[in-house]
Each structure stands twice: as C-alpha cells, then as structure tokens.
Amino acid sequence: MTKNRYLFQKRLAYIIAIISLSAFIQAQSCSPGMFTRQGQVDSFKINYPGCTKINGNLTITNNVANLDSMYEIKKVNGALNINNSKLVDLNGLQNMESANNLTIVNNMILTNLQGINDIEYVGFIYLAENKSLEDISAISQTNYSGVLIVNCWKLKKIVGFNGAKTLSASIIILDNFDVDTIDAFHNVDSINGRLRIDGHHKLKSLSMGEKLKYIRDDLVITNSPLLPILPEFPLLDNIRSLKLENLHGLQQISSFPVLSQARQDVLIQLNDKLDDISGFKKLTHIGRDLVIRQLPELSEISGFKTLALVDRSISFDQLNKLKNLNSFATLNQTDSIAIRTCQSLDDISGITKLDFSKLNYLGLAGNESLSYCHYFPLCQYLQENRGRHNISSNKAGCNTADEIKETCRTVSADDELVIRITLSPNPTESDFLLTISGYVPSDGTLDIYDMMGRAVHQQPIYYGINQVDIAKFHVGTYLYQVSDGIKTLKRGKLVRI
C-alpha cells in the first residue's frame, strides 16, 4: 500500500512537472531579433518552440518570401520592422495582437497588409517607400499612437483608423500620388504632434477631424490641387500654426468655426480659385504672423471678425479682386501690417481700429484703386513719424506718405459750407448731440480716439440729431472724426469733464 502510494505520488509529480513545463513553453518569450533568410523563418518553431512573445524588435528583411512559420507570435515588445524585396503580403502573422511600433518600409512587391488583420495595437504606424502597396485596410481597425504614410505610390484610399482618440504623435500623410480619398481618423480628439496632408495630386475627398479639439503643433493641408472642400474641424479650438497652400480646387474656406487661437501663424496662400474666406468666426489671437496672399480670385473675406491681436505681422498681398478689409474691424494690435498689390482694393477703413501707437511698420504699395487713406489714426501715425512705412504706387491721394499727410491737413472749404456738423455740449459730462444738416451721409460713422490714436468708440450716424453717450469715458481730451464711408467730413476735439 505504501509502495503504491509512493508510485502514485511520483507519477502525479511527474505529470504536474510536464504540465508546468508545457505551460512554460507555451508562454515563453524569445529574442530572435532579425530574420534575413527564409531558412531562419522556417526554423523559427524549432529554435523557439512555443514562443509567443518577442522581447525587443522583430525585423524581417532581405529576401524572406513567406512568414508561415511565425503564426504563433502574439506580441512584439518592440518594433515590428518589415523591409523586404519578396513579400507580397504578411500571412503568417495572423495571430499577432500587438507591437510597440509598426514599420513597413521599402517593400518592393508588397501589395497589401493581409496577415495582421487582427492586430489590436501597433503604436506608431510608419509606412514608407512601398512602391506596390495598394491596400492598407488590414490595419484600419487597429489602435495606434501616430501615423506616417509617405511615398506609397499605388495606394488609392486611406479609410478607417478610427480606433484611437488621443495621439501621442503626429498624423502625416505625404506624397502618396494615387490617393484620391482620405476618410479616416474620425475619433481622434487630440494630437500631441502635427496633422499634415501634403502632396496628393489626385485627392478629391478629405474627411476627418469631427472630434478633433487640439493640435499641439501645425495643421498643414497643401499641394492637393483637386481638393474642392476642406473638413470643417467643428471642435478644433487651439493649434500652433495653420497652412493652407496650393489647393487650386478650393473655392471657399468656411472651416474652423470655433478656433480661438493660433499660437504662431495662419498662412493662406497660392490657392488659385479661392473666392471667399468665411471661416475663423471665433479666432481672436494669432501668436506670430497672418499671411493672406496670391489668391487671384479672392473677392471677399467675411471671416476673422473677432480677430483682435496678431503679435508680429499681417500681410495682404496679391489679392487682385479684394475690395475691402471690413472683416477686420475688431483688429486692435499688431507690430507690422503690409497691404501690397491688391489692385481692386479701395477701402482700408477696416484696419483703422488698429492701435497705431503700437505699430512699427506700415506698408501700402501697388494698390491701384486705393485713393482714400487719410483716416485719423493713419494720419497721426505718419505726421508724428511713429514707425517705419513704405507707401508707393497707389492711386492719387494715397500714392505717397507726403500726399496722405497733405490730405490729412486739409478739409475742403466748400464741404464745410455745405455740410454743417455740430457737437453740443462740448465739453460734456456724459453725452452730447451730434447734428448733421445740409447733407445725408449714406454710410455715416462717428469714430472717437484717445490722444494716443486708439479707437475707443464707433457708432453709425444719420442726418439730423444723433445722441452719443460717453459717460464711461475717462475724464480727458479725445479726438473725433465724422466720415461718410468715402471721405472725412469733420475732425475735432471732444472734452469729457
């Protein structure tokens, strides 16, 4: 009895050991590293029996032709790198569940990514220089941290990639010449990098960004001449820079309805058919430069109506059909502003609310229709030599700085006789009456400035008696200007006591 019990216990211990060893083998990890020959792949199961997890990178390169012997691998605790001249697909990796990164580069005949269809997480996706790659739908449902797809010349569609929300890296789709559709990344809400779509000469449909709120770096959509419309980006409120360039199919920009801040630049340029910019309805601050240039069909800017501050410079350049800058009436401060070669521009009243005391450069050049420049703050800027300027090649009346200053000094005596404008009482403690007789202004406006030339009040005025409330003004002397939308009718001083 004792002997039988001993034998039973011995057999039981043996069975447990076998089971434990089997479990160990099944769960073991290995570090084979790089596979450069087909023989290495074929002997993988022999050399690493039961290996399901690769410690470190798994690299498949040179002339490996199939991956059938690697079907047990489930996890790569490093990058899965495939750089190969003979693989057509990735069959053999069908049980792969995750890798820290996925790099598929310079695969000459790889046409699709079938074989890793069930992979759940791949970290950063890097697909580059895959000259025959036509289909990447196998990884379109995976979770990821960022995407770079570049120079995959036969790829036609990028669809899906909706498994990720918060990205720790960028989305860059670059120079994939046959891509005509990008319908992807719809669930991404923040990108801790940049979003760049660039160099797609057949791209006709771009759909993304419905949930995107934040981009740490730049948003760039460029060099896609057939793209007719931009995504709306309805929730995006903060970016570093925005660049929209060489989008020759684009006729309107109505996007970015809640964007409030660009921490560096907004660049809209070289878009041949763009005729209206109506977006940017809540943009208040640009941290460096605003550039709108070389848009030959642009006839209207109806966006930017809340823009108050551009830290460094503003440039309007080669906008041949644009007639006014009225959408920029809330613009209060910038260091430099240049308006050049806007041949139809005849109204710059939209920028006269600028604090010219903080302006260091004013450029007005090559604006063939611009003849009215003698707005009070601009006059004061030139007369007191407050900053640098380049004024030339505009229409008579605005052709040079001296010409503007001379106009600033004179108001027609005939106008004074015909147009009778009075302010009473002046000085005043709270309000006054502005009376216009002998003239009915079609677009009458009263502007009041402090002694530094900063706009402090504006209101429409009409023939007859207009009441003006200045009770909230600080005690002191102010300058007023009455205009009719075409010329200045009267200027003078107003005293608040």
pLDDT tens for each residue of 293-348: 999 999 999 999 999 999 999 999 999 999 999 999 899 999 999 999 999 999 89
- Look at residues 208, 203, 229 and name the one whose alpha carbon lies nearest to residue 219: 208
> Pick the residue with more confidence: 419 or 459?
459
152 contacts: CB under 8 Å, gap ≥ 6: 127, 128, 129, 130, 131, 133, 136, 176
At 252-287, the pLDDT tens digits run 999 999 999 999 999 999 999 999 999 999 999 999
- 354 against 375, higher pLDDT: 354
State the Cα angle at 319 between 318 and 320, rounded to 5°.
Answer: 95
Amino acid occupying residue 37: R
What would the 3-class secondary structure string for 422-488 be? Answer: EEECCCECCEEEEEEECCCCCCCEEEEECCCCCEEEEEECCCEEEEEECCCCCCEEEEEEEECCCCE
| Short-list 215, 200, 315, 302, CA closest to 268 | 315
The answer to whether the CB of 138 falls within 8 A of the CB of 114 is yes
pLDDT in tens, 446-482: 999 988 788 899 999 888 889 999 999 999 999 998 8
CA dihedral 459, 372, 279, 313 (to 10 degrees): -110
Q: Looking at per-residue confidence, does 350 or 151 come out higher?
A: 151
- What distance in Å separates the CA atoms of residue 25 and residue 195, rounded to the nearest whole number? 44
**Two tokens at 479?**
């300058």
- Quick one: tokens of 133? 């790659």
Per-residue pLDDT band for 485 (boundaries 50, 70, 90) equals: low
- Where in the chain are the domains? 237-410, 413-496
State both tokens at 400. Answer: 């040079």
- Tell whether the model's pLDDT for residue 105 goes beyond 90: yes
pLDDT band at 26 (very low <50, low <70, confident <90, very high): very low
Report the alpha-carbon distance of residue 211 to residue 236 in Å, rounded. 8
Burial 27-46 (b: 16+ CB within 10 A, else e): eeebebeebeebebbeebee
Q: What length is written for the chain? A: 497
Average per-residue pLDDT in the chain? Answer: 91
| Residue-wise pLDDT tens digits, 183-230 | 999 999 999 999 999 999 999 999 999 999 999 999 999 999 999 999
Segments of 279-321 assigned E as strands: 285-286, 289-293, 300-301, 309-317
| C-alpha separations of 33 from 19, 55, 232, 270, 277 in Å | 29, 8, 45, 48, 54
Is 16's pLDDT higher than 60?
no
- For residue 312 the two structure tokens come to 């460094």
Q: Residue 65: is its pLDDT beyond 70?
A: yes
Beta strands in 399-451 (DSSP E): 420-424, 431-437, 445-449
Q: What does the pLDDT average to over 157-162?
A: 98
Looking at residue 2, its pLDDT comes to 53
d(CA 71, CA 427): 91
Statement: residue 9 has pLDDT above 70: no
Q: What percent of the chain has pLDDT over 70?
A: 91
pLDDT tier at 415, thresholds 50, 70, 90: very low
Of the two residues 203 and 373, the one the predictor is more confident about is 203
pLDDT average, residue stretch 361-376? 93
Which pLDDT band holds residue 25 (cuts at 50, 70, 90)? very low
Q: How confident is the model at residue 353 (pLDDT cuts 50, 70, 90)?
A: confident
pLDDT digits (tens, 9 = 90+) for 236-252: 999 999 999 999 999 99
Label residue 165 by pLDDT band (50, 70, 90): very high
Q: Sort strands 431-437 and 464-469 into parallel, antiparallel or unpaired.
A: antiparallel
What Rg, from alpha-carbon coordinates, does the chain have?
34
Q: For the whole prediction, is pTM greater than 0.85? A: no
Do β-strands 309-317 and 289-293 pair in parallel, antiparallel, or remain unpaired? parallel
Residue 291: pLDDT band (50, 70, 90) is very high
- Residue 239 and residue 261: Cα distance in Å, rounded? 7
Query: In this predicted structure, what is the pLDDT of residue 439?
Result: 64
pLDDT at position 4 is 54
The region of weakest confidence among 280-289, 343-352, 436-445 is: 436-445
Phi, psi of 493 (to 5 degrees): -105, 145
* Separation between Cα atoms, residue 175 and residue 172, nearest integer Å: 10
Q: Is the pLDDT reported for residue 145 higher than 80?
A: yes
Rounded Cα distance between 190 and 193, Å, is 9
Q: Which backbone phi and psi does 44 adopt, to 5 degrees?
A: -60, -45
- Determine the pLDDT at residue 452: 79
Provide the percentage of residues in the chain whose pLDDT is more than 90. Answer: 77
Highest mean pLDDT among 22-36, 120-134, 374-388, 437-451: 120-134
Q: What is the pLDDT of residue 442?
A: 62
67-89 pLDDT, tens digit per residue, is 999 999 999 999 999 999 999 99
Q: Does domain 413-496 have CATH number 2.60.40.3080?
A: yes
